């Protein structure tokens, strides 16, 4: 028996025979978890789709930068007219 802490909700629960890479569901929040360490017993989120969400956020910031560049181009055209 080994005690594990859910990284999602911090609840402590026991695993009977944990091994590295084992996939378990948190009994409190049903979060899919993976055993990443045995001494001490450590759990991490088994679902890695969060990484893709971070990439999408970066792309949104890049689009905002493009809008700023367009505003600069308009300013340059006004100067040429003078
Ligand atoms: Zn949990």
Cα–Cα distance, 21 to 11 (Å, whole number): 20
Distance 1 CA to ligand 1 centre (A): 18
Stated pTM of the model: 0.57
41 and 52, same domain (yes or no): no
CATH of residue 35's domain is 2.20.28.160
Give the DSSP letter of residue 79.
H
40 and 52, same domain (yes or no): no
Distance 56 CA to ligand 1 centre (A): 26
19 and 52, same domain (yes or no): no
pLDDT by residue for the chain (82 residues), tens only, comes to 899 999 999 999 999 999 999 999 999 999 999 999 999 999 999 976 555 555 555 555 555 555 555 556 666 666 666 6
Distance 45 CA to ligand 1 centre (A): 10
User: What is the reported pLDDT for 22?
Assistant: 96
39 and 74, same domain (yes or no): no
Containing structural domain, residue 79: 48-82
Chain centroid to Cα 57, Å, comes to: 11
Length of the chain measured in residues: 82
Distance 26 CA to ligand 1 centre (A): 5
């Amino acid at each position: 028996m080994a005690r594990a802490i859910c990284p999602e909700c911090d609840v402590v629960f026991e695993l009977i025979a944990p091994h590295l890479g084992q996939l378990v569901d948190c009994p409190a929040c049903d979060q899919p978890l993976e055993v990443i360490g045995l001494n001490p017993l450590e759990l991490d989120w088994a679902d890695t789709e969060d990484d893709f969400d971070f990439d999408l956020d970066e792309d949104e910031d890049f689009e905002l930068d493009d809008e700023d560049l367009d505003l600069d181009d308009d300013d340059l055209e006004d100067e040429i007219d003078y």
